[in-house]
Amino acid sequence: MSGGADGRWAPFPVQDWSTMPVDLLAPSAVDPAWAAPVGAPATVGPARPWWVPLVVLLCLGLVVGTATWLARRSPSPATSSALTYVPADGDALWQRVETTRELVTDTTVQVTESARFAGINGLVSGDSFLTTRVLHQDYDDDPTTARLWRTFTTSVDDVGVGSQTVRYHRVRGSVELAGERAADGTVTAYEPALVELPADVGPGSSWAGSGTVADGDDRSDDLGYAGTFRAAAAPDGCLEVSGQLVLKALGTEQVRRRTSLTRTWCPGRGVVTASESVGATRTLATAVPAPSPAARTTTTAPVAWTDPKTWTPRTWDTVTVDDTGETRAMYGAARTVVEPVLTASGLVVRALRPPDDLVATTPKTADAWTPAWSAHPGGTVLSLAAYGSVVLVTTSERRLVAYSDAGMRLWEAALPEIGPTAPVQVSDADAVLVDLSGRVLRFGITDGAERWRREVSSDVNRAPAVGAGLVVVGDRGGTVTALDAATGAPRWDRSFASTAVAVAGDRVLVAEDQNVLALDPGSGETRFLTHVDGQLTALTAFAGRPLVVSKTASLLLDPSGRVAERLPGYLTVDPTADHLVGWTSDRVDVVGTDGAVAATWPTRTTSLVSSERPGLATPQGVYLFGYTKGWTFDSWTTGG
């Protein structure tokens, strides 16, 4: 409140304002003798016409309205006839391929996976030799509106060696082949992109296109292309497209290659049948069901190390290689989103975002690795596991997908809900997966065949524990349930608000608040309880004994619950057969079974969130991913 002529102030009503202080924030009267404000006109001119801002607004509205009208008149990519033939993201098509050269016919099976991109994600992923060559047209336009369809076509020869062809299509109304990378590393780019289906394609349509074909950075080898195509109706609503693609030396009529093509496009499936003739070579690809599962290795030898003190720290890059052997850094800013895995053949498989691909890498040079194959299961990759030569992945599309270590999609299964955690191996041949709805599924690793399924009392977002003949699940409703690993029959359940479960030797471990309880696997009765100081970051087994990990300290317990060894605190740990790798925000320790730190090295400081720095133990040492959004990673290994 204020009062009096002199602007005094008080926070409450008063009778004698002379006893109150002057309000320094009160507005002051304007003295006519004061000068005009800086920048103000000396005199006030005539008022501006009232209609000027109205005209400006009307013009602005006209511009916006015209732009909107024109955009609506443009063909919508989502509704064009051509795009009805493009598969959905993550779809897979298996084909039997017969290649005839003179009198000899070779037969193999290939699978083609589709990926759909909208915006910048499709332009910043992977192979720089390919993306920088075939996608520049989308850069020249607006990369935020780029619409792409990419395919991985993978086949495996008789000795198990895989090969892969990658193709990029522009899909904004029409379907246009921008370019491809063959299995030998050769990159072919079409400028402008080769129209495979015009936007309004239908039976009776015909079209032609021409341009240049570049197969490398040396533009002196460019060829001219001319294509003529026609479409006819095929059964089941499909479309048969036939024609010729002729390649000529630029500026001449000299034909370098003439290819006769016939392709059957089916709605939502892409090219299901394709015939191609070049000279005396004819190739026929026909759609087939997913092949029967073959015998595969599903076990991996335990990781064991002799002397970690001899390891050498290294930083690795990831490069791509073209058909001439030239290397180039991978393109984009891929981010590791789940823990990488190791296959029996020694490949490191990473799940990278964008664009949610699996990329299997292997050493290439003295300081770089290179991709061996890529895969796209569709949706967002949620978890990743590898058992022997089989890689398992769960996705946001409620799918469980299996790949061979040569990159072939083996099988896929629909889930009632997403699988937020990776499958856990329960025997040499089987694994168990718990989805978000609380369904527990035991299945065959090589074929996906269901062994048994059970439902627990509530939803689950944590990994199960396997051991002592049990599958132990802690749900979010406050119950820990033990199922018989062989049959799925319930054995017992206990009421715990668990944050983690594990099995160590003959004890079931349950973390609740800052306590760890050990339960009898047969009855579920409590055998001991151990208090944990600090935030629990891991609960696991090391050398058959319970290991309780927090940021302040890690406790290795004996079977009675007493502290056998006290270790440093860690953000996360990676146990092996005879050592434990412990990660802090700026250090990595390798600890022996006696609890002594056998070796330690500094690391680059990063986030305290353990999932952002996934480590991977291998027979050669340990790798650390996730420092940056790029392709580099660190290692501490034998021989560097």
pLDDT band at 9 (very low <50, low <70, confident <90, very high): low
Q: Which domain holds residue 154?
A: 78-287
Whether residue 524 lies inside any domain: the answer is: no
For the four alpha carbons of 421, 423, 426 and 428, in that order, the dihedral sign comes to: negative
The closest of 556, 536, 554, 537 to 546, measured between CA atoms, is 556
Asked if pLDDT for residue 566 goes beyond 60, the answer is yes
pLDDT band at 46 (very low <50, low <70, confident <90, very high): very low
**The pair of three-digit structure tokens given for residue 86, joined into one six-digit string:** 């493009």
Question: HEC states along 15-45?
Answer: CCHHHCCECCCCCCCCCCCCCCCCCCCCCCC
- Cβ atoms of residues 549 and 557 within 8 Å: no
pLDDT, tens digit, 9 for 90 and up, residues 179-189? 999 998 888 99
Q: Which residue has the higher pLDDT, 67 or 506?
A: 506
Whether residue 428 lies inside any domain: the answer is: no
At residue 142, the pLDDT reads 58
pLDDT band at 293 (very low <50, low <70, confident <90, very high): confident
At residue 488, the pLDDT reads 98
At residue 614, the pLDDT reads 74
Mean pLDDT within 549-555: 93
pLDDT, tens digit, 9 for 90 and up, residues 428-439? 999 999 999 999
Mean pLDDT within 378-390: 95
- The pTM (predicted TM-score) of the whole model is 0.85
pLDDT band at 212 (very low <50, low <70, confident <90, very high): very high
In 215-330, the DSSP E strands lie at 223-233, 239-249, 255-266, 270-278, 281-287, 312-321, 327-329
**The pair of three-digit structure tokens given for residue 527, joined into one six-digit string:** 């055998």
At residue 625, the pLDDT reads 86
At residue 147, the pLDDT reads 86
At residue 138, the pLDDT reads 54
Whether residue 146 lies inside any domain: the answer is: yes
Whether residue 621 lies inside any domain: the answer is: no
Asked if pLDDT for residue 53 goes beyond 80, the answer is no
Asked if pLDDT for residue 40 goes beyond 80, the answer is no
pLDDT, tens digit, 9 for 90 and up, residues 491-508? 999 999 999 999 999 999
Whether residue 204 lies inside any domain: the answer is: yes
At residue 30, the pLDDT reads 45
The residue written with tokens 């891929």 in the block is 334
pLDDT band at 295 (very low <50, low <70, confident <90, very high): confident
**Across 99-113, 121-135, 259-273, 560-574, least confident range:** 121-135
At residue 456, the pLDDT reads 96
Mean pLDDT within 155-176: 90
pLDDT, tens digit, 9 for 90 and up, residues 428-479? 999 999 999 999 999 999 999 999 999 999 999 999 999 999 999 999 999 9
- How many Cβ atoms sit within 10 Å of the Cβ of residue 508? 25
pLDDT, tens digit, 9 for 90 and up, residues 111-136? 999 999 886 666 666 788 888 777 66
Whether residue 341 lies inside any domain: the answer is: no
The residue written with tokens 């339960």 in the block is 519
pLDDT band at 159 (very low <50, low <70, confident <90, very high): confident
Asked if pLDDT for residue 204 goes beyond 80, the answer is yes
Whether residue 13 lies inside any domain: the answer is: no
pLDDT, tens digit, 9 for 90 and up, residues 311-352? 999 999 999 998 888 998 887 666 777 889 999 999 999 988
The closest of 332, 382, 335 to 121, measured between CA atoms, is 332
- Cβ atoms of residues 503 and 468 within 8 Å: yes
At residue 55, the pLDDT reads 44
Whether residue 198 lies inside any domain: the answer is: yes
Q: What is the mean pLDDT of the chain?
A: 85
Domain count for the chain: 1
